[in-house]
Chain A
């Protein structure tokens, strides 16, 4: 099965890499890229519940200007349960120190935490249970 992906990272270069990795994995039906987390959030809100595929993936960076990953997560968990249930969030970020990881553990919507650099191997490990 193929899934839609939403890529959120302030660095255009990193977005391109994540997009390529997702593309080569053959798991994506569609990839949307956002350099600004607040725009991604608006996109998800606007999309609403109707016509939403059963499952979509979001890859999320943590350290970003304007709206960082935690701010995005806090806004995201306020969405209606019926919408939240249709998304799995994969954190793709640089320095996953103990403090950050602990903080991230509290968010149940998070499927996995992947440390940059993202590789095909790391990505496949996360996604392989969704055949």
Chain B
């Protein structure tokens, strides 16, 4: 039986209902209604109904009028009108214009006809729903692109303007030590631009969502992270510790996992309190019962409560204390959605933040 395909049949003649269910209950989920109120109740409880069969001549309402009433709230189910009479042309016109019906079937129906109509209607439903979903995705992509073009032009031109201004300035002055200082500005601007472009690259690889699922070795990742952040930890006097608790196999996309950890760790190192003697970053990784958990904890500046809800938004920035693109956590959230994972955050201002990521093994 195909549980997914839910069908409603509305008819005031109970014999018809019973016969319909007897024939099709093994193949589909059938819901019956002997009046329009019952039908509405079924629709309310099962908004994922795919196909509605309705009789035309019913004591309380015409089938076409019922279909007309529900089309605004329930636009997706495919409508099929059954009728015993040789109706006039008006009924047929109403059925198409008001009821938006997909098929018009004459009673008494045959099992073969209904079976074929259900198969057709289901295909029609799938195509339509897919189109609706695709349209929504497209709309979202457009909005993002809009924001993106705007932000990219600003964030790329910013460091470039810095480079141009500094170079111009260097031409205008002759003091050598000043020129050296200005060259450093150029280097810093170029590095900022480079980091930004890397982030944009990440953004697009996440969007494309091409994953390469492998057995992820958490110990190896721990060793990688230790090496990668050793220099910054030493330079800024931050204690960096990692614990691994591997109680099972974790299958996922290794590049994505590293991208998530790199974003969270670089934030943890970046947003530390300036004059604090016990700066630390701690990474805890574990796998248990097909679920991997990563916790990144820091003694940083924390996130004000009013911003917690926004930090995963595209181009959102909560602080001016450090340079950021507003892309990092958005990328994290986006990958996690694609991997079926979750992220939550606990943060206290001036105490620190804790990001908890969980990813199911594929």
Contacts and interface: CB of A to CB of B under 8 A. Distances in A.
Nearest to A10: B320
Interface residues of A, number: 23
Nearest to A35: B320
A100 to B, nearest CB: 11
A77 interface: no
Given A11-B158, A95-B153, A17 B165 contact: yes
Nearest to A115: B161
A65 B318 contact: yes
A21 B320 contact: no
Given A94-B154, A119-B169, A120-B168, A20 B319 contact: no
A12 B184 CA distance: 13
A117 B168 contact: yes
B159 interface: yes
Interface string A30-61: 00000110000000000000000000000000
A94 B160 CA distance: 10
Contact of A63 (B154, B159, B172, B192): B154
B185 A64 contact: no
Interface in A84-102: 94-95
Nearest to B189: A13
Contacts of A118: 161, 165
Interface in B308-337: 317-320, 323
B182 interface: yes
A66 interface: yes
A116 interface: yes
A118 B165 CA distance: 6
A24 interface: yes
Interface string B147-171: 0000001100111111111101100
B162 A17 contact: yes
Given A13-B189, A117-B164, A120-B168, A94 B158 contact: yes
Interface in A102-131: 116-120
A12 B185 CA distance: 10
A36 B320 contact: yes
B319 A11 contact: no
A120 B172 contact: yes
B317 A65 contact: yes
Contact of B162 (A21, A35, A95, A117): A117
B18 interface: no
A119 B154 CA distance: 19
B157 A24 contact: no
A126 to B, nearest CB: 15
21 contacts: A11-B158, A12-B323, A13-B159, A13-B188, A17-B165, A17-B166, A17-B185, A20-B169, A21-B165, A24-B172, A63-B154, A65-B317, A65-B318, A65-B319, A65-B320, A94-B161, A116-B157, A117-B163, A119-B168, A120-B168, A120-B169
Complex A-B, nearest 6 residue pairs according to Cβ-Cβ distance, in ascending order = A117-B165, A65-B317, A116-B161, A117-B164, A117-B161, A10-B320
